[in-house]
């Protein structure tokens, strides 16, 4: 399957070829029920839904968790992009279009819902901190998780432990961003290393950026 990651004229954390590298990993894994922690403006969500739709002939589910503009529970819980504070684009046309014509905050849950409306029957968006809302989600059928939400040690550890404890299927893939040297965040790396060592799991580094954990 030859799908290319599209930015859809919105902000994305997977710039350049990183989106294609990520998408190829999803295609190779062939998931049916996908969970994304850290939706941002929904670009990765839209690409994932396009991919899952083709893999599963429309029979798939996507669940996305994000603060969607809510305040953080602590000052260290999120590595918050400056974009979320003032929604400034390097492209002046985007500034004009989103901030003055549409007057739309791309990180709001209403904006992301609108952006994903093509797949509204397949998509569930959850607003809140994973330390609170993750327990409200049925994780049993989830077979692929992409983690790029809260970047503090405690939040990443909580996410990994909760997902591990409530896994009900034989093979669950967790892909974590910001592990390799290309986008390394120390708290994320320490959390993942402690988690895999404690549970005797293996971490595979993909293109010196993503950490893949399979259990």
- Residue 206 CA to residue 18 CA, distance in Å, equals 11
8-39 pLDDT, tens per residue?
A: 988 888 988 999 999 999 999 999 999 999 99
Sequence-distant (≥ 6) Cβ neighbours of residue 182 within 8 angstroms: 207, 208, 209
166-194 pLDDT, tens per residue?
A: 887 778 999 999 999 999 999 999 999 99
- φ, ψ for residue 191, nearest 5 deg: -65, -45
Chain CA centroid to CA 1, Å: 22
Write the CA distances from 126 to 21, 47, 209, integer angstroms: 26, 18, 26
Would the pLDDT of 143 be above 60? yes
For the chain, the domains span 18-214
Which of left, alpha, beta for 73 (phi over 0: left; psi -120 to 50: alpha)?
alpha
Look up the pTM and report it.
0.90
What's domain 18-214's architecture?
3-Layer(aba) Sandwich (3.40)
pLDDT at 165: 92
Q: Which of 30, 83, 38, 86 is nearest to 63 (CA)?
A: 38
């Amino acid at each position: 399957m030859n799908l290319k990651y599209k930015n859809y004229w919105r902000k994305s954390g997977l710039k350049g070829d990183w989106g294609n590298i990520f998408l190829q990993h999803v295609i190779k894994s062939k998931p049916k029920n996908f969970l994304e922690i850290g939706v941002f403006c929904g670009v990765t969500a839209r690409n994932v839904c396009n991919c899952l739709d083709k893999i599963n002939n429309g029979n798939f589910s996507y669940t996305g968790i994000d603060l969607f503009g809510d305040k953080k529970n602590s000052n260290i819980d999120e590595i918050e992009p400056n974009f979320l504070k003032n929604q400034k684009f390097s492209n002046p046309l985007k500034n004009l279009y989103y901030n003055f014509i549409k007057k739309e905050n791309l990180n709001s849950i209403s904006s992301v819902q609108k952006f994903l409306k093509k797949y509204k029957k397949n998509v569930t968006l959850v607003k809140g901190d994973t330390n609170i809302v993750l327990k409200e989600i049925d994780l049993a059928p989830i077979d692929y998780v992409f983690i790029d939400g809260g970047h503090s040690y405690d939040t990443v550890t909580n996410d990994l432990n909760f997902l591990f404890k409530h896994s009900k299927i034989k093979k669950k893939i967790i892909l974590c961003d910001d592990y390799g040297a290309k986008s390394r965040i120390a708290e994320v790396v320490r959390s993942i290393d402690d988690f895999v060592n404690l549970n005797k799991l293996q971490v595979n580094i993909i293109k010196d950026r993503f950490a893949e954990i399979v259990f």
